[in-house]
Chains A and B, each alone.
Chain A
């Protein structure tokens, strides 16, 4: 029974997860263990861990979801992977330019392509290419969209 047995709560000392709580999930050898919890699941040197008095009951090689439920019971935060998709930012459109686009009722080919590019909606792009008759309607819709977030 070593100090860093499975279920031991520790605090990471080194790296970007320093100062966060974790639990030993797997003992690789006498020096390295796998930790999980409020940190990235990782094999770490025990010299980079500060053991605490508490232990929890978890299986050997417990999955991240098991550790997460155990940590939530303790009232500790759990590290969660951030979603890869960044949040959509509202695009800025200059007031003067937006007014110009509204005033031009029948835009030329170049104008229509420009407006579609600004909005970046692949669904609306297709009808512009296929049928030119529907193009002005699409442009009017596109004009409304960039103004909305400002209000």
Chain B
């Protein structure tokens, strides 16, 4: 039987075949959910889905697109937002 802490489903299971032929279970941390656009809720492209520790070591330019609202809005939503801003300024 697995230990109590492994029964809660907090960790994901990986089945690994050992050289002796047995299949053992290893437990890995689950990845966080993918980043989504704040208006249309679609998953954002160009934002990696990694553990927080790995994200902290990554440079900023690898974690989001290099444009205004990059990493917050998807590209079609960004265009709409910028267009509205340009029209409202007049």
Contacts and interface: CB of A to CB of B under 8 A. Distances in A.
Contact of A50 (B67, B68, B87): B87
Contact of B82 (A11, A16, A52): A11
Contact-residue bracket for chain A: 10 to 19
Contact-residue bracket for chain B: 10 to 19
A107 interface: no
A93 interface: no
Contact of A18 (B67, B87, B90): B67
Given A16-B67, A18-B68, A19-B68, A52 B75 contact: no
A98 B7 CA distance: 56
A13 B67 contact: no
A53 interface: yes
A52 B78 CA distance: 18
A50 B83 contact: yes
A77 interface: no
Nearest to B90: A53
26 contacts: A11-B82, A11-B83, A11-B85, A11-B86, A13-B78, A13-B79, A13-B82, A14-B67, A14-B79, A15-B67, A16-B66, A16-B67, A18-B67, A18-B68, A18-B78, A18-B79, A18-B82, A19-B68, A19-B82, A19-B85, A19-B86, A48-B79, A50-B83, A50-B86, A50-B87, A52-B90
Interface of A: 11-16, 18-19, 48, 50, 52-53
